[in-house]
Structures are given as structure tokens and as C-alpha cells.
Structure 1
Amino acid sequence: MPVEAVVFDIGNVLIEWNPERFYDARIGQQRRSRLFSEVPLLTMNDGVDRGDDFATSVSALAAAHPDWAEDIACWHDNWIEMASPAIDRSVRLLRALRARGVPVFALSNFGRATFDIACAHYPFLTEFDQRYISGHIGAIKPEPRIYELLESTCGVAPGGLLFADDRADNIAMAEARGWQVHLFDGPDGWAERLVAEGLLEQEEAA
């Protein structure tokens, strides 16, 4: 079935998401490894992505782990440094698809507040035709509900969707639902896929 719309994940597809790198630079790799093993930062972040209040979640975690409170607070105060930089070629591909008139959707695990921060920092995140953000939906990938919502409201049949995500579990769920998929491992391969699908010409995908 021809591709009728392209669905982008955001983290590690359009912007880099690497809190470990941020903490390695701030406190060193050894201390960061201890932090991530002793404090459930990623579990807390999943809660934020489901819709938990960002500031409240970080403050509660810091209160529960006072020895790490200062470092935990960075998850809130320095969040945009963890979600950077933009992946420039991916952004160009997004805009090239839009220029071609191809509908583009966002399907991403993001908190409500963190997505607002990201949109202020990266204006291209406001350029999608439709956005499906987990914090507003109350479900995260790869849970079926977030895919179901996109399918029921985007106006395109599952087989006409081409979805790029950097996580195999998210891709597997979409593929099981009949979507066309691309496991993102860099913008070059993604560009090649979009050209191969006839969505962009080679020069448009440069």
C-alpha cells in the first residue's frame, strides 16, 4: 500500500535525548552510574510521559533520595540540555515532506510540561499536521491505546502510515497493527527510505 502519511517519533529522531550524557558531563560517568542505579529517574520520567506533573514528580523523587537531591533537581532545571541538540537532517526531512504536501504526524512519549519546553526551544515541533503526545493522552508507547488514538483520528488507514522510531518495541507494536515502519538509526537511512518510498526526490532529502 502506498504511504499516505509519515509519523515521526521525536526523541532520538528529531532531537537527541540523552540524559546519561548530560550527567556524565556534570558528575562523571562513575557517579552517574550510581545515580541511575540508586534512583529511579527513568521510571519517574515514564510517569511524567504518562501525564504526571513534571515539577511535582522531580521534587518528590528528590525528597525521597536526599543524598541525590541536587542531581535529581537537574532533571527539571536542566531538562532541555538532556534533549539536545536537534538532529538537523531529520528536521529538513520533516520540512521537505510538508513542502511536498505529505501529511506528517508526531507520535511521541513526552510530558505535558516537557513538550511545552521543547516546543519553545525547537519551533519545528509545532509544524506537524497532528501531534499525539503521551502526556496529553495518558498512555505511552508501546501501549496500544496511543496507537489506537492516532488510527482513529488521523484520517489515514494503518497500512498507509510510515512510522519512524528509534526503539524496536515501539516499532514492533506499530508493525503488528499494520503500519509500515522504519527503525531509525540515523537520518541518512531515514532519508534513503523516504526516497525509496517515492515521498521525496534525492535532492529534497539532502
Structure 2
Amino acid sequence: MPTVVFDVGNVLIRWDPFRVYREMIPDDEKRTWFLQNVCTAAWNLEQDRGRSWEEGVALLVASHPEWEAQIRAYDERWHEAVPGLIEDSVSVLEELKGRGDKVYAITNFSREKWAECLVRFPFLQSFDGVVVSAHERVIKPDPAIYRILLERYDLAPADCIFVDDSARNIETARQLGMKGVHFVEPIDLRAELSRHGVAF
């Protein structure tokens, strides 16, 4: 039986930082500019790589003091960017677990927010193994983070199906010998997993 390996953000829980700023920065163009030039994806990834939110916010405030309130909101109001579960995906995970399958996860996530999400979303504690980028100080799509999972939990790449919303992350998984499901809604995750040999 194949082993399913999940990403978390935008596969199991929704994440959209624009949600935090719809009221703070009402102008669409200015809001987009802010998230492309101040609180950038690259800046956020450094928290996923292990930098503390305190340090990341301080560095950005020093560079962009005129945006201090908005920068701090990215951290302090982070959970507003995570409105809830992707119900179908969580039901697939729970079905797999309920019948005794082992399930794993590789996720780019900051240390602080991961700890908070384990409390907010208890199902995240149900994995048989999870590799969190901030804990390892390496982020997808670096092949090293996939190898950590495979070696730590003695998994054969050919037996694994990796589900992620990023095409780059899926490509790395495939290069390492894993199968990949690119998670883009609308998607029938059960059907996609069935194509790779998972029975439902």
C-alpha cells in the first residue's frame, strides 16, 4: 500500500496573508505592492527556515519603519490568514489514519506558528511522522528536507505519494523517486490518490 505524505499549508489548512490586510490596506494595488515588496514571500520563508518571528519583524521594521503596524500584524494577526481547514483533505487524512495507514507530512512552517497550530488544529498531531522546516533549518524544495523524512522514518521513495500545492515542491519529490499530486483546487484528492494505488 502506498504511503501518503502531506504538505500542510493550502493542502490541509488554508493560508492567505491577503486576508490580514484587506481592512488595514484597503487599496488593492497598495496591498499587493506591500506583500510583494515589504512582507514578501522570501521574508516569510526565513521564518519557515528557523528565524524567529521576533527577529524577522525587527529586521523588517528597521528597513521599513513607515510600515511598522502592518509588518507587526503579519505576526500578531497571523491566525486571521488561516481561516480554517480544507475539509475534504482532512477527511482523506482521517480516513487513512482510521483504517491504520501510516501518514506523514513535510511542511514549510515557522517554529512558533507550528506550535500554535498543533493546539488550534489537533488533527496535525495525528501524523506518524512530520518534518517541519523550521525545526530542521531547511525548506522545500531543497531535496534535503525530503531525505530527512525518508531516512528518519525508513520510507522508500517509490512507496510515497507526496501531496503539495507547489509545483516546484512536487518536482523535487518526483526527482527523488516519489510520486506527486499537485494540489490545486478544485481537486478530487481521493481520485488522484487512487490513480497512484491508494484504495478508498
Q: 1:114 to 1:173 in 2, by over 3 A?
A: same
Corresponding position of 1:10: 8
1:25/1:198 Cα in 2 relative to 1: closer, same or farther (>3 Å)? farther
Alignment map for 1:13-162 (pairs within 5 Å): 13-28=11-26, 29-162=28-161
Letter in 2 for 1:21: R
Partner of 1:169: 168
For the residues of structure 1 that align with 2:158 and 2:86, how far apart are their CA atoms?
Answer: 27
**Amino acid corresponding to residue 191 of structure 1 in structure 2:** R
Query: How many residues are aligned here?
Result: 199
Query: What are structure 2's unaligned runs of at least 5 residues?
Result: none
TM-score by length of 2: 0.93
In the alignment, the residues of structure 1 paired with residue 116 and residue 163 of structure 2 have an alpha-carbon distance, to the nearest angstrom, of 23
> 2 CA distance for matches of 1:197 and 1:140?
26
Give how far 1:198 is off: 4.7
Partners in 2 of 1:25 and 1:108 — Cα distance? Answer: 29
1: distance between equivalents of 2:191 and 2:144? 30
Deviations 1:33-59 (A, max 9, x none): 231233143222111001001122113
Q: What stretches of structure 1 move > 6 A for 4+ residues in a row?
A: none
> For 1:132, what is the secondary structure of its paired residue?
strand
Structure 1 position 85, deviation (Å): 1.7
Would the aligned equivalents of 1:90 and 1:187 in 2 still touch at CA under 8 Å? Answer: no
Q: Are the aligned partners of 2:19 and 2:80 in contact in 1 as well (CA < 8 Å)?
A: no
Q: Distance in 1 between matches of 2:157 and 2:143?
A: 13
Instruction: Tell me if structure 1 keeps the 8 A contact 2:161–2:196.
Output: no
Q: Among the aligned pairs, what percent are the same residue? A: 35
Whole-angstrom CA distance in 2 between matches of 1:110 and 1:44? 13
Is 115-124 or 54-63 further displaced after alignment?
54-63
> Would the alpha carbon gap of residues 40 and 26 (structure 1) be closer, same or farther in structure 2, given more than 3 Å must change?
closer
Counterpart AA for 2:32: S
Corresponding residue for residue 183 of structure 2: 184
Residue 187 of structure 1, CA deviation: 6.7
| Residue-by-residue CA offset, 1:97-147 (whole Å, 9 max, x unaligned) | 001211110100001111011112111111111010000011000001101
Offset, 1:197:
4.1
Q: Which moved more, 1:168-177 or 1:96-105?
A: 96-105
Shift of 1:17: 1.2
TM-score by length of 1: 0.90
SS of alignment partner, residue 130 of structure 2: strand
Query: Is this contact kept in 1: 2:24–2:70, CA < 8 A?
Result: no
Give the unaligned 5+ runs of structure 1.
202-206
Q: Which moved more, 1:175-184 or 1:32-41?
A: 32-41
